[in-house]
Amino acid sequence: MFLDKNKKTIIVFSGDLDKAMASFIIANGAAAMGNEVTMFFTFWGLNILRKPEKTSTRKNFLESMFGWMMPRGAARLGLSKMNYGGMGAFMMKAIMKQKNVNTMQEMIETAQSLGVKMIACTMSMDVMGLKEEEMIEGLEYAGVATYLGEADEANVNLFI
Amino acid sequence: MFLDKNKKTIIVFSGDLDKAMASFIIANGAAAMGNEVTMFFTFWGLNILRKPEKTSTRKNFLESMFGWMMPRGAARLGLSKMNYGGMGAFMMKAIMKQKNVNTMQEMIETAQSLGVKMIACTMSMDVMGLKEEEMIEGLEYAGVATYLGEADEANVNLFI
Amino acid sequence: MFLDKNKKTIIVFSGDLDKAMASFIIANGAAAMGNEVTMFFTFWGLNILRKPEKTSTRKNFLESMFGWMMPRGAARLGLSKMNYGGMGAFMMKAIMKQKNVNTMQEMIETAQSLGVKMIACTMSMDVMGLKEEEMIEGLEYAGVATYLGEADEANVNLFI
C-alpha cells in the first residue's frame, strides 16, 4: 500500500561538493528517519567514491586522461558555482568546519553505517574508465535496470 | 488512496535564473491546477529569496565574503549557461519582456498568492551565512526532516 | 493501484551531452522494461532535438542571437564539466565509440522506436525563439499543464 512505502532513491550524477553534500544530507536524513535509501552514482558522481590515493590500474590513453582530470574522492571536489579554481570549495569547507557541519568523508561513513545502499553505475564506470580497485569499499555495482527496479519501489526519487 | 494525492514538492538547489524560472513555472502551474505545492530552497536557491536591498546583519569574515559574492535576489540571477558575465541573463530578460512572460519577481508573488509553501533550508542558511532579516517575507524556516515529511505526502518530487 | 503503475516522466532541462545521455539511458531502459515514458524537453534541453542543418525561419534579432549561440542538435552538445571548448565532448564521444556505446543520435532513434513520448515545451520554445521547423520529426508540442498531467500518472518523475 502506498502510504506504507518508505523507500527513497537518489541518482547522484553530479560530482560537485555542494550537490554531493545535498545528496548525502537527504539520504542520511531519510535513513535516520527509518527509510530504506538507495543512492545510484553515475558519471561525475562516481568521483565522490574514488579512493584518495593513486591506484595502479590498467587503462588505455583516453581512460587515463579522464582519470587524471577528474577529482580523486570526496576531499577533492569543487563547487558547482563560484569555485574559482578551488577557492570556493576551500571557503565552503572552512565554513563547514566553523559551523561543525560534517565533512563529505564523514557523511559517506554515516551513510554506510545507516545502511544506505550505494550503487556505482557500471556503464558510466566503463565510459569514464574507472575500475573497481579505485573505488572505496562497500559499494554495489549495477546498471540502469537495477536503478529502475529500486525506483519502482520508492515513493521519492531524485536526480541530483 | 494514491490517485487522490495532489501534492508536489520541489527542492530548489540552483540559483540560476533559468532553473529558478523552471521551478516557479512548475510550482505555479501545479498550484493553479489545485495542487498543494511545497518549495524547499537550499544552497544557491536561497539567493532567489534574498531581499534586493543591502541589509545590516552581523556576519563573520567568511559569511560576509559569501554574502558579497552571491546575488541579492531574483532580479540579479545569472543563467546556468551562456551567461557571459550577465549578458545572457540580460538577453533572456529582454526576450521575456518582449514575449510578455512574467519576471522572476512576479512569479514569486504569484506563488505566494496561490499559497505555495516556501521553505528556506536553515542548515544551508547557516553554512552560507544568510540571516532571516535578508530574506523576503512569507517564508518558513526548516530543515531536511521537514522536507522529507512533505515529500512523503506528495506524488511528484523534483530536485532542480 | 500503485504497484501496477509503470509510467515514468523526465524533464530534460539540460542540453549538456552527459546529462542528455543520462536522460535517454534512463528513458530507453524504462521503455525497454515495459514502462510508458514521457520526456518533456524545456530550455537548453530543446537543443538536443534541433535539426543539425540550418533551417530558414523568421526570427527577430534576439531570437536569432539565441539560435546562433545554442548548439544545433545532438551531435553538437558539450559536456557539463571539463568541456574545454569542445575537447571534453570530443573525448567523451571517442571513448563512447571505443566502448560501443550508442551515440546521442542513435539513442534518440531508439527512444522513438520504443515509443517514448517526446514533448517540446512550447513556452520555452517561444522564449528561446525556436520554431517547429527547426526541430526533428516526431515531437509533440505542449506546455507545463500537459507535463503535470503526465507526471500525475507516473510513479517516477525526474528533473535532469
Q: Looking at the complex, does the CB of residue B144 fall below 8 Å from at least one CB of chain A?
A: yes
For residue B32, the distance in angstroms to the closest alpha carbon of chain A comes to: 23
Interface test with A, best of C80, C90, C97, C100 (most A CBs within 10 A): C80
Contact A37, A116 (CB under 8 A): yes
* pLDDT of B111 over the 50 cut: yes
Q: Looking at the complex, does the CB of residue C160 fall below 8 Å from at least one CB of chain B?
A: no
Separation of alpha carbons B108 and A61, rounded Å: 50
In this structure, the number of other CB atoms found within 10 A of the CB of residue C3 comes to 12
**Per residue, what are the HEC states of C33-98?**
CCCEEEEEECHHHHHHHECCCCCCCCCCHHHHHHHHHCCCCHHHCCCCCCCHHHHHHHHHHHHHHH
Q: Which chains touch A (3 or more CB pairs under 8 A)?
A: B, C
**pLDDT one-digit tens code per residue, A102-121:** 999 999 999 999 999 999 99
**pLDDT one-digit tens code per residue, C125-147:** 999 999 999 999 999 999 999 99
Q: Are strands A156-159 and A7-12 parallel, antiparallel or unpaired?
A: parallel
* pLDDT of A153 over the 70 cut: yes
Give the type of residue at B41: F
Q: Which chains touch C (3 or more CB pairs under 8 A)?
A: A, B
Which span out of A15-24, B88-97, C59-68, C71-80 was modeled with the highest average pLDDT?
A15-24
Separation of alpha carbons A69 and B10, rounded Å: 33
Tell me if B60 and A25 make a contact (CB, 8 A cut-off): no
Longest dimension (CA), chain A: 51
| Helical ranges in chain B per DSSP H | 17-32, 61-69, 87-98, 104-113, 122-128, 144-152
Residues of C in contact with B99 (CB under 8 A): 126-127
Contact B76, B85 (CB under 8 A): no
Per-residue confidence (pLDDT) for residue A5, from 0 to 100: 66
DSSP single-letter state for residue B81: S
In this structure, the number of other CB atoms found within 10 A of the CB of residue A103 comes to 14
Determine what percent of chain C is predicted with pLDDT higher than 90.
77
Contact B4, B154 (CB under 8 A): no
**pLDDT one-digit tens code per residue, B140-154:** 999 999 999 999 999
Tell me which of A2-16, A44-58, A122-136 is least confident: A2-16
Q: Looking at the complex, does the CB of residue A68 fall below 8 Å from at least one CB of chain C?
A: no
Residue whose C-alpha cell reads 493553479 in the numeric block: B32
Q: Looking at the complex, does the CB of residue C56 fall below 8 Å from at least one CB of chain A?
A: no
Tell me if B33 and C148 make a contact (CB, 8 A cut-off): yes
Q: Phi and psi (nearest 5°) for C55? A: -115, 140
Average pLDDT score over residue span A72-83: 91
Residues of B in contact with A19 (CB under 8 A): 13
Residue whose C-alpha cell reads 554531493 in the numeric block: A20
**pLDDT one-digit tens code per residue, A29-50:** 999 999 999 999 999 999 999 9
